[in-house]
Amino acid sequence: MSNIPIYTIGYGNRSMQEFIKLLKQHNISYLIDVRSSPYSRFNPDFSKEALEKFLRQSGVRYVFMGDTLGGRPNDSTCYVDGKVDYAQVRKKPFFQQGIERIRTAWDKQLRVALMCSEAKPYKCHRGKLIGNTLSDKGITVAHIDEKGDLMEQREINRVLTDEPSEQPHLFDNEPSEQPHLFDNEPSEQLPLLDGEPSWMLNEKISRSRKKYTPKGEQVR
């Protein structure tokens, strides 16, 4: 029997109607907000109060977890030269607590989607920090990208490291000789180096793209 993955999604330029349609397409029951600050000047429908109202009307429960899984933690030791150092974030009790809550949801096979503002998962901490951390723990992750297609974690890492894909997209309609992403087989893990996964050594994955100050997420 196939496992239900942990989904991730970003709203970007999507309308609320488009966003809800994607959630319904994947039968999402819980939307986990992983923005450090759950507000948007650019798209106010996605500010916390408005978003929670829209979701409730659509039968989806809103849960805020930006305090534990946000991409811009309010902890100065998580920053190196202004960029968020995901290796440091991974060590923090608040982050580990958040990951354990997501693990519990996965163990219960709840239909959960982690949400941030960036539509492209490979440009967001949900694709780099959270996705890799969950995958390292054997938890299946499916990223809904800016086109509404699904990407698995290894595809995200290939995009970030400019590595060519060695196999067809696992979500294409064409039959593949590879195991289905949601099968009950252990997911492909990145090799460990000195006890840490190798992705943490690649700055394109292990650090935020932009420089920030540890004062929470800027509203966009």
Question: Which tokens belong to 7?
Answer: 């989904």
- How confident is the model at residue 37, as a pLDDT? 94
Domain limits, the chain: 6-163+189-211
Q: What is the pLDDT of residues 193-204, one digit of tens each?
A: 344 555 554 566
Euclidean distance between the first and the last CA atom of the chain, given in angstroms as a whole number? 41
Contact 84, 203 (CB under 8 A): no
Nearest to 27 by CA among 121, 138, 130, 109: 109
Question: In angstroms, rounded to a whole number, what is the distance separating the alpha carbons of residues 36 and 72?
Answer: 6
Q: What value, to the nearest 5°, has the Cα angle with vertex 197 and ends 170 and 64?
A: 75
DSSP 109-176: T--EEEEES-SSGGGSHIIIIIHHHHHHTT--EEEE-TTS-EEEHHHHHHHHHTPPPSS--TTSSS--
CA distance 211 to 72: 10
| DSSP secondary structure, 58-96, as one string | TT-EEEE-HHHH-SS-S-GGGEETTEEEHHHHHHSHHHH
Which of the residues in the chain have pLDDT under 50?
166-195, 201, 216-220
pLDDT tens-digit map of 149-189:
999 999 999 998 885 554 444 444 333 333 334 443 334 44
Predicted local confidence at residue 179, as pLDDT = 35
Q: What's the CATH code, domain 6-163+189-211?
A: 3.90.190
Cα gap 187→31, rounded to integer Å? 24
Average pLDDT in the chain: 83
Q: How many helices (H) and strands (E) does the chain have?
A: 9, 11
Structure tokens at 136: 């390292």
Global confidence as pTM? 0.79
Give dist(CA 99, CA 204) in Å, integer.
22
